[in-house]
Chain A
Amino acid sequence: MLRSLSALRGQCQQLFRSSIPHQSNVQKSAQFWRMKSTNSPEEAARKLRSKSTLYYITAGGVLIVGLSYAAVPLYSIFCQAYSYGGTTSQGHDAEKVEHMAKVEDRVLKIRFNADIGSSMRWNFKPQQYEIKVAPGETALAFYTARNPTDKPVIGISTYNVIPFEAGAYFNKIQCFCFEEQQLNPHEEVDMPVFFYIDPEITADPALEFCDTITLSYTFFEAKEGLQLNFPSYAKPHAATA
């Protein structure tokens, strides 16, 4: 029984070996060398072309990546130079206040909003809910802040203007933002905001139907490591004219 099985196995193996094409060693090496290209001129030219194409494509890829990195500062320079997309170029002209004319037929309502940071212990509110202002005319508004605690608290504020497009025309002559203000215990102060709306707002099509502008101030407690969205050119102390 076992002998017949082993004989059957031997026969199967022989059959299997004979079915595979048998290569000699010489044939194998010849095949191998044929796969490597010969040094005929057509082959060399083809190789050169494909290599240079590869280099061009790689260089093109590197150029595109470099351009996308360079686009960021270039774009900001372009925007600042041409005031594109709402970015204002440099500060507002201080001489403008002297020569601007009041726009009679347009009256804007300015609403006031007051906020405090979550850990800020002042009571901060606007004195008037809204005022009516004509563009080109300077206006005065007040906020009131009170320190109900027993310790002096130093606050610092930032502001925001809604709608966004109107922020470019909202020029403050003097206010109380971006500078540390200290309130002694149980002290209450009035904080004025002296501002004007640029008369060029009438020429802006995006603000044609805008008649309400909201000015929102937020007070934070001045602590170390507090990062507010200050412009880089914010003056640290009360500036001279």
Chain B
Amino acid sequence: MTSQIYNQKKFVPTPPEKGSFPLDHEGLCKKQFLLYASCLRKNAQDTSLCREDAKNYLACRMDNNLMEKTEWSKLGFHEQKPAKEQEEKQ
């Protein structure tokens, strides 16, 4: 491996926090995935504008037992209401 070169810091891969996604063999969430992909293409690959579709994909995974059910806040999906209120005020 290239990490065996002297005087180079070794890259240590860290395991993911929630482990590994089980594979979606039957393609149960393919539709949500395609919606997310098309949203990304429309918005010039900006993920901030496609969070709804990402949320839908993860919800599909949770419903089909392909992902552990967790609260949205733990996954970084916070309520959008305070931001919208601020926008309306301005």
Interface residues of A (CB under 8 A from B): 85-88, 91-92, 94, 97-98, 100, 102, 127-134, 137-140, 142, 158-161, 164, 167, 171-179, 181-184, 187, 189-192, 194, 196, 229-231, 233-235, 237-241
Q: Does B30 contact A (CB under 8 A)?
A: yes
A173 and B75 within 8 A (CB): yes
Interface residues of B in 40-63 (CB under 8 A from A): 40, 44-48, 51, 54, 57-58, 61
B33 and A229 within 8 A (CB): no
Q: A174-B19, A181-B23, A190-B24 are in contact. Are A164 and B11 (CB under 8 A)?
A: yes
Query: What are the residues of chain A within 8 A of B76 when measuring CB–CB?
Result: 97-98, 100, 137-138, 173, 196
What separation, in Å, do the CA atoms of A192 and B20 have in the docked complex?
Answer: 10
A172 and B77 within 8 A (CB): no
What separation, in Å, do the CA atoms of A234 and B14 have in the docked complex?
Answer: 8
Query: What are the residues of chain A within 8 A of B24 when measuring CB–CB?
Result: 189-190
A184 and B20 within 8 A (CB): no
B13 and A92 within 8 A (CB): no
Q: Does B88 contact A (CB under 8 A)?
A: no
Query: What are the residues of chain B within 8 A of A229 when measuring CB–CB?
Result: 1, 3, 12-13
11 additional contacts (CB under 8 A) given A132-B47, A196-B76, A240-B19 = A88-B14, A91-B15, A98-B76, A140-B54, A177-B15, A177-B20, A178-B15, A179-B19, A190-B24, A235-B20, A238-B68
Q: Does B70 contact A (CB under 8 A)?
A: yes
Contact of B74 among A98, A142, A159, A181 (CB under 8 A): A98
What separation, in Å, do the CA atoms of A70 and B52 have in the docked complex?
Answer: 54
Q: Does B21 contact A (CB under 8 A)?
A: yes
Interface residues of B (CB under 8 A from A): 1, 3, 9, 11-25, 27, 29-30, 33, 36-37, 40, 44-48, 51, 54, 57-58, 61, 67-68, 70, 73-77
B48 and A134 within 8 A (CB): yes
Nearest residue (CB) in A for B49 is: A132
Q: A132-B44, A167-B11 are in contact. Are A178 and B30 (CB under 8 A)?
A: no
What separation, in Å, do the CA atoms of A101 and B13 have in the docked complex?
Answer: 25
Residue of B15, B51, B67 with most partner-chain A CB within 10 A: B15
Query: What are the residues of chain A within 8 A of B68 when measuring CB–CB?
Result: 238, 240-241
Contact of B73 among A98, A194, A234, A235 (CB under 8 A): A98
List the 10 shortest-distance A-B pairs measured between CB atoms, nearest first.
A239-B19, A138-B76, A179-B20, A172-B16, A238-B19, A140-B54, A139-B47, A174-B18, A234-B15, A131-B45
A164 and B9 within 8 A (CB): yes
Query: What are the residues of chain A within 8 A of B67 when measuring CB–CB?
Result: 174
Tell me the smallest distance from the CB of A131 to a CB of chain B, in Å: 5
Query: What are the residues of chain A within 8 A of B40 when measuring CB–CB?
Result: 128, 131
> What are 9 A-B interface contacts by the 8 Å CB criterion?
A94-B17, A100-B76, A164-B11, A173-B16, A182-B23, A229-B1, A233-B15, A238-B19, A238-B22
